[in-house]
């Protein structure tokens, strides 16, 4: 069980100071669950979706895996039925503190049928050859804008035909009034989860220019340009969306 997230209760945060360091890792499962509406549904559902796309003798990439919640969900889902042979799950994160936590979570996991490999690296250095299923669960939003097109192009090029990417992102809206409504309602969600006004404001400030959102239209255009044949939005709560992008 992770500690309750009270990081911004007592400490101030300068603009853009948010980092995935040891302090964040200690409270991360609680932080993401109480900050991202639907996270507790998305993680097991990505496991379920993996069963439709993962092919035998292929690689699954969990990109920006944090403590490996999605990798473990895919592992569990694939093992539940007849597991496809020769599948490797590669879980990549560039935060050493996160990867240390993931390695602890992997201790004792039965990897005889499907392995889970923890990699401490920049996800942009991944080799996507032979990949049948990839996940960017609230990770692309932390990459510089000008790195995003190339990453998705390389990812789609490496994906096997019939493979898919699950992309989940916080998005923004062109219409300022819609943006304001959904921001207020997201903050209502955080209040419901027990965060104070000060905690909400400090976290928002800390994430300034660290988490860079885009519109749904921009994400769809990028996925299409990268070569994905079909993009389906399967989740939305306020500005938090998830899509399945399929390669023909
Ligand atoms: C989950 N997917 O629990 N290379 C590798 N990792 C990166 C990079 C990069 N260039 N940039 C950021 N990260 C997870 C949740 S959290 C989302 C993902 C959130 C990593 C970063 O270290 C962090 O662990 C993760 O992406 C983003 O399903 O906290 O809102």
Residues 153 and 228 in one domain: yes
Helix (H, G, I), strand (E, B) or coil at 52: helix
Say which CATH number the domain at 95 has.
3.40.50.150
Report CA(101)–ligand 1 centroid distance (Å). 13
pLDDT digits (tens, 9 = 90+) for 163-217: 999 999 999 999 999 999 999 999 999 999 999 999 999 999 999 999 999 999 9
Cα distance between residue 77 and residue 159, in whole Å? 21
Write down the pLDDT at residue 151. 98
Write down the pLDDT at residue 1. 58
Residues 125 and 226 in one domain: yes
Q: List, chain by chain if needed, residues with CB within 6 Å of any ligand 1 atom.
A: 20, 32, 64-66, 69-70, 92-95, 98, 122-124, 137-139, 142-143
Cα distance between residue 175 and residue 178, in whole Å? 5
Does residue 108 fall inside a structural domain?
Answer: yes
Residues 69 and 190 in one domain: no
Q: On the CB side of 232, how many CA atoms lie within 13 Å of its CA?
A: 7
pLDDT digits (tens, 9 = 90+) for 40-92: 999 999 999 999 999 999 999 999 999 999 999 999 999 998 999 999 999 99
The stretch 146-156 carries a mean pLDDT of 98
For every residue of 120-175, DSSP letters joined together read ES-GGG---TTEEEEEEES-GGGS-HHHHHHHHHHHHHHEEEEEEEEEEEEB--SS
- In the chain, the number of structural domains is 2
Residues 103 and 125 in one domain: yes
Domain that holds residue 198: 7-35+173-206
Does residue 1 fall inside a structural domain?
Answer: no
Does residue 2 fall inside a structural domain?
Answer: no
Does residue 61 fall inside a structural domain?
Answer: yes
Residues 13 and 136 in one domain: no
Residues 109 and 194 in one domain: no
Among 2, 37, 105, 142, which is best to mutate for testing ligand 1, by the most ligand atoms less than 8 A from CB? 142
Report CA(138)–ligand 1 centroid distance (Å). 7
């Amino acid at each position: 069980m992770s500690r309750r997230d009270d990081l911004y209760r007592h400490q101030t945060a300068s603009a853009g100071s948010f980092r995935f360091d040891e302090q964040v890792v200690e409270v991360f499962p609680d932080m993401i669950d109480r900050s991202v509406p639907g996270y507790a549904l998305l993680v097991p559902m990505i496991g379920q979706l993996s069963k439709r796309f993962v092919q035998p003798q292929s690689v699954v990439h969990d990109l920006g895996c944090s403590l490996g919640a999605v990798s473990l969900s895919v592992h569990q889902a694939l093992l539940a039925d007849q597991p496809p042979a020769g599948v490797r799950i590669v879980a990549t994160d560039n935060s050493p503190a996160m990867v240390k936590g993931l390695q602890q979570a992997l201790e004792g996991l039965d990897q005889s049928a499907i392995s889970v490999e923890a990699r401490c690296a920049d996800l942009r250095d991944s080799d996507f050859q032979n990949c049948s299923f990839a996940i960017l669960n609230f990770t692309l939003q932390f990459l510089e804008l000008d790195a995003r097109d190339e990453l998705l192009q390389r990812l789609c090029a490496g994906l096997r035909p019939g493979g898919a990417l699950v992309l989940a992102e916080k998005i923004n809206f062109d219409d300022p009034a819609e943006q304001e409504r959904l921001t207020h309602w997201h903050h209502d969600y955080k209040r419901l989860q027990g965060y104070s006004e000060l905690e909400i404001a400090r976290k928002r400030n800390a994430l300034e220019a660290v988490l860079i959102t885009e519109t749904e239209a921009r994400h769809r255009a990028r996925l299409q340009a990268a070569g994905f044949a079909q993009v389906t939005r399967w989740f939305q709560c306020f500005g938090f969306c998830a899509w399945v992008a399929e390669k023909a």
